[in-house]
Chain A
Amino acid sequence: MNENDDNTFDDELMARAAKLATEVKPDRDLWPAIEQAIGEPVRPNRSVWNSVWAQAAAVVLLVGGSSSITYMAVSDGGDPILPIAGTQTLVFEPVSGSFGSQYNLGPDYQDARRGLVAKVDDELENLAPETREDVVKNLDTIRQAINDINKALAEEPDNVLLQELLLDTYRYELSLMNKVDGITRAAMRRGDI
């Protein structure tokens, strides 16, 4: 191949390169991973599904929590069940605004919860096997609901309904643990959360 041939071939090469496709369709849709990474829910049907899922979980925990508390009330002699604290009526105030994407449980609430979890774990050993099984089952249900709602909140951090459900669920957990532990505590006010 002489120099002229080389140049011609080189020119052809560049001409061919300019014809190569600059747009290529990927084999799969890459958007779902991007959407997840940027942390913003886009598809309404998914959001609706998550809300429904969280609400369903909340209903399950309401039934479970109620049945557990009722069962324990009957099993320990029919003492009236007091709402969370012994003497104060818990008033749930509707959320007036969004927590945004950075909502957190307050440190006082977290401390109280950690302390109660440790005490309840000890107290469970003192319960009758049937009662213990029932309490553990209900606590598991409540905690699974907390996880479910948190997952839904990760996708819809500004969903006020989900935020309320999460707070209510934590309250049910506290209520049940308080009952188990037999502790009379000051009501966990909304300001603690």
Chain B
Amino acid sequence: MPQVADIPHDESRWVRLAQAADARAFEKLYRAHVDKVYGLCLRMTGNPSEAEDCTQDAFIQAWSKLSRFRGDSAFGTWMHRVAVNTVLGRMRKSRREQDRIRAVSDVAPVQESIGDNAELRDLEQAINELPSGARHVFVLHAVYGYSHGETGDMLGIAEGTSKAQLSRARRLLVQQIETERS
């Protein structure tokens, strides 16, 4: 149960303190948002270990860029964008690393799942096996509910490309799930 100091209305104060280099305040922001950031990294990378690294990088990036956060959006929204950029940056950094992530993903499927719903677990597994472009669009649009405009903006692609990638993702997911069922 969250304590008084942990409720969201204190968040703007934590942000201000963190902007003044107060690491304790930044730790509170981390505690409040780590599950969301890790969840996003996990969905986008499909690999728990890589997701941990991405989460750490995202918060380190956030710390260094915190002075640029003007409060136009909620901190969580801003942090979400930082996390997306971090994942994409890491993947762009090395194509070989991306291949490694895929390879690891093939043999070490994501364990985290909500409840015991077999259908959701199947879907999670199928999402992990999507090509990265389709996976990123599917995760941001279908799982996190971003519009195609927002998704395209975050991924640095046109809105039309986002729609095309979503269509591709859906087609591949249907095929994947049907294959597993049969």
Contacts and interface: CB of A to CB of B under 8 A. Distances in A.
A34 B113 contact: no
Interface string B94-125: 00000000000000000011100001100110
Contact of A25 (B35, B123, B174): B35
Interface stretch (B8-16, B22-30, B156-164): B22-30
Contacts of A40: 21, 23, 26
A22 B42 contact: no
Nearest to B58: A34
Contact of A34 (B51, B59, B177): B59
Given A30-B55, A33-B56, A38-B26, A23 B123 contact: no
B120 A28 contact: no
A159 B31 CA distance: 27
Contacts of A24: 35, 38-39, 42, 112
Interface string A24-52: 11111011011101101110000000000
A35 B29 CA distance: 13
A37 B113 contact: no
29 contacts: A13-B170, A13-B174, A14-B142, A16-B119, A17-B123, A17-B127, A17-B143, A18-B145, A19-B114, A20-B43, A20-B127, A20-B143, A21-B112, A22-B40, A23-B36, A24-B35, A24-B38, A24-B39, A25-B35, A25-B112, A26-B52, A31-B27, A31-B30, A34-B30, A34-B59, A34-B63, A37-B56, A38-B60, A42-B24
6 closest Cβ pairs, A-B complex: A40-B23, A17-B142, A24-B39, A23-B35, A21-B114, A42-B23
A122 interface: no
Q: Chain B's interface: helix, strand, loop or mixed, by majority?
A: helix
Interface residues of B, number: 41
Interface of A: 6, 9-10, 13-14, 16-28, 30-31, 33-35, 37-38, 40-42
B143 A18 contact: yes
B141 to A, nearest CB: 9
A180 to B, nearest CB: 43
A46 to B, nearest CB: 12
B68 to A, nearest CB: 16
Given A30-B52, A37-B56, A19 B63 contact: no
